[in-house]
Structure 1
Amino acid sequence: MKILFSVGNAFVPIHQEMVMKMEQLGAKVECLTFDASMNPDKVKEKIRDADIYVLAVTKVNREVLDCAHSLKLIIKLGTGVDNIDVNYAVEKGIVVSNAPGENAWSVAELVIGYMIALSRKLSLLDSRTKKGAWKHSLGLELSGKTLGILGFGNIGKKIAQITHVFRMNKIAFSNHKDEKMAERLGVSFVTMDQLFSESDYLVISTSLNQTNYHLIDASVFKKMKANAFLINISRGAIIDEVALFDALQTNQIGGAALDVREIEPPDSVPNLNNLMVTPHIGGSTIESIQRIANLTLENIRRFSQGESILHVVNR
């Protein structure tokens, strides 16, 4: 059993421990650094005789899969599989698994941090104060505001659960409505237009697919409140970034926080006082990474023993 392991940045601190445990399961492991795994030619070269491919954000397209002559299992170190050609993997008889919900709490906590930071202008005031300015600024409370959640999956539900203590009004739009959980968490399902126009904080927590590319565009910003905040912890391509940056520069909306960009790493980051940007750290906590690592090792054990794989996305 040979494993190719593209080590995402978040897994660098524990990847040696993971490799040791993979080897204890009888595997021969070859690791690619983050930079190497971003080189398609390097991936195609190394994947030729791999039985299992463990990866985070590496692109696994048709060309890569055509080079994988022995591949039987792809394990995604996270939830979203938009970087993997899942349909073609089905044609090739390759099982694709992921780790749904394992980083949901970490991402949800980051959203709360963003909401408070945007409301109180923490990033701007921190920068000003360190430069010697001592300028007072009024902020906003979360209490009584309307939280809009686009995508009511594991992360969306965790966000709704945490924000209960802030006494917020909670609305959501989702293609898959979990009415029972929504009622339990005090969330009302609304139309997409209502979500855009009524939210004081609009959180994007839906997976990227062919139907929602650049869903959040100039027309959406015209519908949003002038003091509304946009938070994206999903995938960068769901937002038309050119339209967003224009909306921020012209104060069409109050502010935005982006943990994801359409191109990562991005070519540039606009220097806007009402914009916060982080380098895709939503699920990057010690606890969530360990949970994903444990699930990954369990699936490798199951593969080695001929048992059913957990969380197959292309069954």
Structure 2
Amino acid sequence: MEKILVTPRSLTKKRHPAFSLFEDAGLSVVTCTPGVMPGEDELLSLLPGCIGYLAGVEKITARLLEAAPGLQVISRNGAGMENVDIEAAKRLGIKVFPTAGANARGVAELTTGLMIGLLRSIPFSSGALKAERWERREGMELEGKCLGIIGCGEVGRLVAGMAGALGMRVLGYDLYPNMAFCLDSFEWADTEQIFRQADIITLHVPGGEKPLIDREALKAMKEGVYIINTARASVVDEEA
């Protein structure tokens, strides 16, 4: 029976119902240690003999791919593929696919929750109460605030809709903007306009060689701006 390796922690911690789809297709599901991100040694013991690999965020190296001559396809459980040695996969004839948008609503809701948490000082208040202190900070409302969204793919567009429903003005930037996207509260803008006007900036872009938010970008922003990064850590120069 042909085998599929499944490693995302969210799928292995508790057997996911979707495993039955593989089994109904005559495939055997192989998993790593449940709920734990596998290392290369464990992967080297599991991947050889598999034709498919439903992968999490673990590093997928050339050495690992070369050890699995029967592997035909890798499906990344998420949008990013920077953990996969794409050049090695191409050389070995292994197809690699992301699942863009699969968790878009969850990320958008998290982003919206973080906005509310920051403006209402929820983390501060929670920490103070746990330390048995009653301290109050003046909060702010989202209504009327300007949100700048950098990266208006599926996640960014969902965030724009949620922010608009909360009464925010939304500026959006994307390298390849979908001009058909239209909301009353939304307008397309460049990053310079977003930096000048946004009270909150959310990031929904892939990582690159250089951080998008560096010292110069921070200098161009409004004083007191909140930055929410639910993309990749490399997008922000944390030292700046």
State whether TM-score is above 0.5: yes
Deviation sequence 1:255-284 (CA, Å, 0-9, x none): xxxxxxxxxxxxxxxxxxxxxxxxxxxxxx
Cα separation, 2, equivalents of 1:69 and 1:175: 37
- Report what 2:206 is aligned to: 207
Deviation sequence 1:153-192 (CA, Å, 0-9, x none): 00000000111122211112211111110x3364222222
Contact 1:43 1:64 in 2 (8 A): yes
1:43 and 2:43 matched? yes
- Report what 1:286 is aligned to: none
- Report what 2:232 is aligned to: 235
1:224 and 2:221 matched? yes
- Following superposition, which runs of at least 4 residues in structure 1 exceed 6 angstroms of deviation? none
As a proportion of its length, which structure holds more helix?
Answer: 1
1:77 and 2:77 matched? yes
- Report what 2:125 is aligned to: 125
Distance 1:38 1:214, change over 3 A: farther
SS, match of residue 194 in structure 1: helix
Contact 2:151 2:203 in 1 (8 A): yes
Q: How many residues align?
A: 239
- Residue correspondence of structure 1 range 145-184 to structure 2 within 5 A: 145-181=145-181, 183-184=182-183
Cα separation, 1, equivalents of 2:185 and 2:91: 42
Cα separation, 2, equivalents of 1:41 and 1:130: 41
SS, match of residue 143 in structure 1: coil
Contact 2:171 2:186 in 1 (8 A): yes
Identity %: 27
Distance 1:68 1:37, change over 3 A: farther
Greater mean alpha carbon deviation, residues 84-93 or residues 198-207:
84-93
Q: CA deviation at 1:105?
A: 1.0
Cα separation, 2, equivalents of 1:115 and 1:85: 35
- Report what 1:99 is aligned to: 99
- Report what 1:285 is aligned to: none
Deviation sequence 1:101-122 (CA, Å, 0-9, x none): 1211111111111001100111
Greater mean alpha carbon deviation, residues 78-87 or residues 227-236:
78-87
1:63 and 2:60 matched? no
Contact 1:36 1:43 in 2 (8 A): no
Under a length normalisation based on structure 2, what TM-score does the superposition of the two structures give? 0.90
Cα separation, 1, equivalents of 2:184 and 2:60: 37
SS, match of residue 242 in structure 1: coil
- Report what 2:5 is aligned to: 4
Q: CA deviation at 1:29?
A: 2.4
Under a length normalisation based on structure 1, what TM-score does the superposition of the two structures give? 0.70
- Report what 1:284 is aligned to: none
1:134 and 2:134 matched? yes
Cα separation, 1, equivalents of 2:228 and 2:34: 26
Q: CA RMSD in A?
A: 2.1
Q: Any unmatched runs of 5+ in structure 1? A: 244-315
Greater mean alpha carbon deviation, residues 116-125 or residues 162-171:
162-171
Equivalent AA in structure 2 for residue 129 of structure 1: L
Cα separation, 1, equivalents of 2:39 and 2:184: 44
Equivalent AA in structure 2 for residue 171 of structure 1: L
Greater mean alpha carbon deviation, residues 112-121 or residues 164-173:
164-173
Cα separation, 2, equivalents of 1:104 and 1:52: 24
Contact 1:37 1:43 in 2 (8 A): no
SS, match of residue 71 in structure 1: coil
Structure with higher RCO (Cα < 8 A, 6+ apart): 1
Contact 1:48 1:68 in 2 (8 A): yes
Contact 2:10 2:35 in 1 (8 A): no
